[in-house]
Structure 1
Amino acid sequence: MRGCVIHGADDLRIEELPEPVPGPGEAVVSVRYGGVCGSDLHYWRHGGVGDFLLHEPMVLGHEIVGTVHSYGPGTDGPAVGTPVAVHPATPCGRCAECLDGRAQVCRDTRYLGSAARTPHVQGGFASRVAAPAGQLRALPDNLPLRRAALAEPLSVALHAVRRAGSVQGKHVLVTGAGPIGCLVVAALRAAGASAVTVTDLLPRALEFAAAAGATTLVRADDPADPGWPDEVDVAVEASGSAAGLDTCLRAVRRGGVVVQLGMLPPGMSPFAGNLVVSREIELRGALRFATEFDEAIGFLARESLFDGLVSAVVPVGRAVEAFALAGDRGRSCKVLLDFGV
């Protein structure tokens, strides 16, 4: 059984792993596709994501879909062979945040392929993966596995839009047209945004944003680009850069909302805090998601436009090549690893 194991910066290995044995309450899923996420790329390039640093080898991956392989003793769920997506989070259910309905910021959560705690939570980039049976979601008959692999990142996008409040009839700016930024665009249009302006440095990334429903595309490095709005009602920062946050703060109207979705570099970041004060801007963070996973699956089943955001499917044996491609946004949007070949 093959898996993608990160040992440190620039040290991704395809290794033989032991077959998972499901315990009570667990299921084993035969993984077909795994989406390479920005956090996976950070572990590969830098040995960590933000303040979460690798301290031991870890199987990467949290965007996985496949079919039910088996169950542990006394456990049931979707029938063996059923196509499923795997919700990657297991919140504790006991902390103040969970009890307040904010499980996405649970202080003791377990998230597939995360170094936020030690021992690390091993991820889903393996031929077969054991997970709590309650995290399995049977897929609608009309949702192919390849498109369903977007369920986790789309959930992140839906949560970010929810954090912004109502966007019905509003003009929204999105900085960063990576996979998450493009999914935010689709989520915004579905939520009724009247206009979505997207900025990025790369023409190819902006093309993907247009496919997702952006109404205006702007080169982030061109202050003379005629697409720059005078002001917007809401801004979503999806690039994970201090420059992107600065753009959002300067573009949003007085009393507007900025949602910081991209994970900024570790440590201190420059921050135009005076604008937050003088314009009474509401700056809100958005981390992962909670209840949006099922919503995302339904959305994917209804909309085939998401197929265009999957730019490549690469066999797991060429995982390093897949990661390099995923990290080159001039050539790709969402890259999937194929564990079925």
Structure 2
Amino acid sequence: MHACVVHRAGDLRVEEREPVAAGPGQVTVSVALGGICGSDLHYYRHGRVGDFTVREPMVLGHEIVGHITGLGPGTEGPATGTPVAVHPATPCDHCPHCTTGHRNICADTRYLGSAARTPHVQGGFAQSVTVPAAQIRALPSGLALDRAVLAEPLSVALHAVHRAGDVHGRRVLVTGAGPIGCLVTAVLRHRGAAEVVVSDLLDTPLRIASAAGATATVRADEPGAPGWAEEFDVAVEASGAPAGLRTCVERVRRGGTVVLLGLLPPGEVPLLGNITVTRELELRGAFRFDTEFDEAIGLLAEGLPVDAVVTHTFPLAESRAAFDIAHDRTVASKVLLDLGHV
């Protein structure tokens, strides 16, 4: 089979790899589509994501959908040919975090396409993957693969909104209109937020945010624009930029909540500590997701308005071009790899 493999910063290759046969408790999936995530881009361009550094060749990708092609001995699961999405995480299920409902922050989680541990966990940008059966989700009838492939990033957005608390009737700011920021926007509107204002430095992402349900968009480099006139009850930082975090802290009202979702650059970043203290702001981290994956699939099947987030699809052989386009936020949002066509 062929797979998209990162070797080091700037070194991305489509190369042959041996498929892994399904063992007891495992399922093999023929991967149809995979979404390029911001973390995949960081591995490709910088050889790292936050504190996770590529130390050996690693298949990228953790946003994947496809069809069942085989079950391991004694494994129960969907029949061969069933369209499925793959939950990318395998927590340990016995640590204090797992046993108290916080599996998403399990320190011993295996996550597809992650360099957080060595050996790295190989990812899903391969024509065939074998995973524990517990990671498989059969798709509802009528849910197309090119929508279902958004289940993983939508789960991230759902978890961030859950971390924000009750947003019904609230005024919310989202900094960063990348794929995650736009999906957060769609979830906020679905959860009843009265206003969702999205900021970004570029016009194309802001147009996509509007299609996802933003009630207003503002350029981050135009601080005097009308959308900035009032304070916000909640702010979600989805850009991963220190300037975005600063904006959230400055713009949220006294006693408001800031959710940190985008991964900031490695090392220390400036924080407006005095404002956080004197306004009694709540800063909450949001990392990955857990049961939100099933909720995301349900929302996609129900027609949550997120189709505008997907802007490009490339065959696997053109992975480098796909990654380069995905990095160009003036034209692209979520870029897909078609694993069925080399």
Is the pair's TM-score, using the shorter chain for normalization, greater than 0.5?
Answer: yes
CA distance in 2, matches of 1:79, 1:73: 14
Which residue in the other structure is 2:244 paired with? 244
Structure 1 segment 302-313 matched on structure 2, within 5 A: 302-303=302-303, 305-313=305-313
Tell me, yes or no, if structure 1 residue 334 matches structure 2 residue 337: no
TM-superposed deviation, 1:305: 2.4
Counterpart amino acid of 2:67? T
TM-superposed deviation, 1:276: 1.1
Which residue in the other structure is 1:51 paired with? 51
Secondary structure of the structure 2 residue equivalent to 1:227:
helix
CA distance in 2, matches of 1:191, 1:305: 13
Identical-residue share of aligned pairs (%): 63
Between the two proteins, the alignment pairs up a number of residues equal to 341
CA distance in 1, matches of 2:325, 2:83: 27
TM-superposed deviation, 1:339: 0.9
Q: Which moved more, 1:95-104 or 1:297-306?
A: 297-306
Superposition CA RMSD, Å = 0.7
Say if 2:24 and 2:73, in contact at 8 Å, map to a contact too. Answer: yes
Say if 2:186 and 2:304, in contact at 8 Å, map to a contact too. Answer: no
Secondary structure of the structure 2 residue equivalent to 1:167:
coil
User: Unaligned 5+ residue runs, structure 1?
Assistant: none
Cα displacement string for residues 294-331 of structure 1 (whole angstroms, at most 9, x for unaligned residues): 00000001116222211011101000000011111110
CA distance in 1, matches of 2:298, 2:143: 9
Tell me, yes or no, if structure 1 residue 88 matches structure 2 residue 76: no
Which residue in the other structure is 1:321 paired with? 321
Secondary structure of the structure 2 residue equivalent to 1:308:
helix
CA distance in 1, matches of 2:303, 2:314: 23
Structure 1 segment 207-222 matched on structure 2, within 5 A: 207-222=207-222
TM-score if structure 1 supplies the norm length? 0.99
CA distance in 2, matches of 1:304, 1:179: 14
Counterpart amino acid of 1:153? P
Moved over 3 A (4+): none
User: Unaligned 5+ residue runs, structure 2?
Assistant: none
TM-score if structure 2 supplies the norm length? 0.99
Say if 1:27 and 1:72, in contact at 8 Å, map to a contact too. Answer: yes
Say if 1:34 and 1:65, in contact at 8 Å, map to a contact too. Answer: yes
Tell me, yes or no, if structure 1 residue 264 matches structure 2 residue 264: yes
Secondary structure of the structure 2 residue equivalent to 1:116:
coil
TM-superposed deviation, 1:230: 1.9
Secondary structure of the structure 1 residue equivalent to 2:257:
strand
Which residue in the other structure is 1:31 paired with? 31
Say if 1:33 and 1:146, in contact at 8 Å, map to a contact too. Answer: yes
Say if 1:229 and 1:251, in contact at 8 Å, map to a contact too. Answer: no
Which residue in the other structure is 1:148 paired with? 148
TM-superposed deviation, 1:229: 3.5
Cα displacement string for residues 123-165 of structure 1 (whole angstroms, at most 9, x for unaligned residues): 0000000000111000011100001000000000000000000
CA distance in 1, matches of 2:178, 2:189: 17
TM-superposed deviation, 1:274: 1.0
Cα displacement string for residues 33-52 of structure 1 (whole angstroms, at most 9, x for unaligned residues): 00000000000010000001
CA distance in 1, matches of 2:203, 2:21: 46
